[in-house]
A = this chain, B = another copy of it.
Amino acid sequence: MENKSEICLPTCSVDYAFKRIGGKYKGRILWYLHDHKTLRYGALKRILYDVTTKMLTQTLRELETDNLIIRKVYHEVPPKVEYSLTETGGELIPFIDHLRQWGDRQIEKENRKL
């Protein structure tokens, strides 16, 4: 069942992981949730300024289904929903953080060239 990284079956773990966090907003959502510990729907939407309600809701549902984030509903008026990372989702933070630092360096490089 376990296979070496060399010969990848249809369930290549690199491929698998990228599919789970590879959406247009997923990386940023996970990062922001880590950064703020917990965020309400509206706050998330403001930070991801270019996202539509449809995409935000859809993406949040996928992350929830994949057990990367927790959706906590407060039964109040007006409604209040808070999102936060699960433990499994939190395990991705080191990766995203290093990726972010790498991105910073590349952006700096490009700026020096211009």
Contacts and interface: CB of A to CB of B under 8 A. Distances in A.
A71 interface: no
A96 to B, nearest CB: 6
A28 B14 contact: yes
A66 to B, nearest CB: 8
Q: Is the interface of A mostly helix, strand, loop or mixed?
A: helix
Contacts of A17: 27, 99-100, 102-103, 106
Interface in A62-114: 88, 91-92, 94-96, 98-104, 106-107, 111
Contacts of A55: none
Interface of A: 1, 5-6, 8, 10-18, 20-22, 27-28, 31, 35, 47, 50, 88, 91-92, 94-96, 98-104, 106-107, 111
26 contacts: A5-B31, A5-B35, A5-B100, A6-B35, A11-B107, A13-B100, A13-B107, A14-B27, A14-B96, A14-B100, A14-B103, A15-B27, A15-B28, A17-B100, A17-B103, A17-B106, A18-B27, A18-B28, A18-B99, A20-B103, A20-B106, A92-B99, A94-B98, A95-B95, A95-B99, A95-B102
